[in-house]
Amino acid sequence: MPTLTINAIRKLLRGAPHDEAELEKLAAQVHTLPAGELSYLMRTTAPTESAVLFLVLDKNQALQVFKQLSPSYQAKLIDTLQTEQLTNIVTDLNPDERALLFGELPATVVKRLMQGLSEKEQQMTASLLGYPKDAIGRYMSPEVLAVPANLTVGEALDYICDRIDEPETIYVVPVVDDTRKLLGVVSLRGLLAAERGAPVTDTTHVPVSAQVTDNREDTARLFRSQKLLAMPIVDSEERLVGILTIDDVLSILDREDAEDAARTGGSEPLPQSYLSLPIMRVVRSRIVWLVVLAVSAILTVQVLDVFEDRLNEVVVLALFIPLLTGTGGNTGNQAATTVTRALAVGAVRVRDLPRIIWRELRVGAVLGVVLGALGLLIAGIVYGFDIGLVIGLTLLAICTMAACVGGVMPLIAKKVGADPAVFSNPFISTFCDATGLIIYFSIATTVLNLG
């Protein structure tokens, strides 16, 4: 039963130090685990505890498991357990995986690990590390198979088969001239379907490519929108320097999605999986935003302070505060989520701002009419018509305002070059809270003849 086994292993791992007999027991249990369970075990255990696992995994298993971890987790493992086993794993990584890991390690450790690599591997890794952290160059594979443009289809196929072990992919093959300038791309399928005697340039098509220094997310989105399997990467002189494969692209997009999801919820993304992190690291990902939001919320205290006399006069007004601010926040969040998503998938651009305001104005008004009517009815029955009218009108105004604010904020963020998710749901809620209270007490003052 895997349930028992995972828990048993976790317990074993926690009880360091370990003697020989215990390690053997651990090894026996680990070898019965399916790959998916092993990966789940790692993601729910701190790196300091799971390090022991790498003593008992066989070489191949250790490499597979290691590859599935985030670079930050990998770095902590290496920090915890500086064994030959782990050094060997680093040697067996692809150059792009290694560059991402090295980006997380202190310079002294990188230097030590570099010495274990062959000269060619050292060179490739160093060149990848030379690109900025968010450049696509960090993610590409420098081991790219390209065929010279002067070959025939048959020669090209033989050329590929002779070098089949090295490159990361052989299904998309760049075609280059003598100076390694990228001329085109040919798919292996295209080559196999063509006449062997025809020149390879006949089946070549114009490549969708990117430059090494291009932004990783933009390049990944371009790759996805074109439904590619691989994309050649060139330097500033159009010379082929690497190839980006779909798994690189998907891991970039996964990371961006995780970042967006975290920001939308008002926290910073975690560097590794939730259950494997120390408590204080989780706190750190949340505290800054929470304090910023709490301090912004002091605005709501000040707004209410201004209206304290009205509250003293009609204390029943206080009862509706959470309902009204809550509804405003919800309406704003709905609009913000829709527009943020549409921006991410390219179905909306910044210049659509006027159309979006006009849409959200109408959507918000319709929502406000429905909720306002409900509010008028319910509050009117329980607290009298006057209060009902105040609540109804306030809901109408708040919904219209919040839908517009929620729709516009992601566009403003994008316009000023920030992540659209940075005006997160909590931020929009806080903004709508303060504005909504001003609307509420203004309407109440007029309708109830206060002040």
Site for its own copies in 184-203 (CB under 8 A): 188-189, 192-193
- With 0-12 CB in 10 A as exposed, 13-18 as middle and 19+ as buried, what is 22? middle
C-alpha 333: how far from chain center:
20
Backbone angles phi, psi at 314, to 5 degrees: -125, 85
- Scan residues 342-401 and list those touching its own copies (CB under 8 A): 342, 345-349, 351-352, 355-356, 359, 362-363, 366-367, 370-371, 374-375, 378, 395
| C-alpha–C-alpha distance, residues 292 and 174, integer Å | 50
- Scan residues 136-195 and list those touching its own copies (CB under 8 A): 160-161, 164-165, 170-171, 188-189, 192-193
For the packed helices 71-80 and 84-92, what is the interaxial angle rounded to 10 degrees?
150
Nearest to 410 by CA among 435, 440, 431: 431
- From the list 40-48, 85-93, 130-138, 145-153, the region that binds its own copies by CB under 8 A is 40-48
Select from 50, 141, 209, 430 the one that contacts its own copies (CB under 8 A).
Answer: 430
Q: How far is the CB of 243 from its own copies (least distance, A)?
A: 15
Site mask, its own copies, residues 41-60, x = CB under 8 A? Answer: --xx----------------
Instruction: Provide the sign of the torsion angle of the four alpha carbons 50, 56, 59, 61, taken in this order.
Output: negative
Select from 261, 377, 381, 418 the one that contacts its own copies (CB under 8 A).
Answer: 261
Cβ-based nearer residue to its own copies, 275 or 418: 275
DSSP string, 37-101: HHHHHHHTS-HHHHTTHHHHS-HHHHHHHHHTS-HHHHHHHHHH---HHHHHHHHHS-HHHHHHH
Select from 204, 219, 394, 425 the one that contacts its own copies (CB under 8 A).
Answer: 425
Task: Tell me the helix, strand and coil percentages in the chain, rounded to 5.
Answer: 70, 10, 25
| C-alpha–C-alpha distance, residues 442 and 295, integer Å | 24
| C-alpha–C-alpha distance, residues 395 and 367, integer Å | 9
- Scan residues 311-340 and list those touching its own copies (CB under 8 A): 311-312, 315-316, 318-323, 325-327, 329-331, 333-334, 336-340
Residue with structure tokens 């005697």? 197
Cβ-based nearer residue to its own copies, 16 or 291: 291
Site mask, its own copies, residues 225-254, x = CB under 8 A? Answer: x-x-x----------------xx--x---x
- From the list 26-34, 38-46, 102-110, 120-128, the region that binds its own copies by CB under 8 A is 38-46
Nearest to 110 by CA among 79, 139, 80, 137: 79
Cβ-based nearer residue to its own copies, 219 or 331: 331
Cβ-based nearer residue to its own copies, 133 or 351: 351
Cβ-based nearer residue to its own copies, 113 or 375: 375
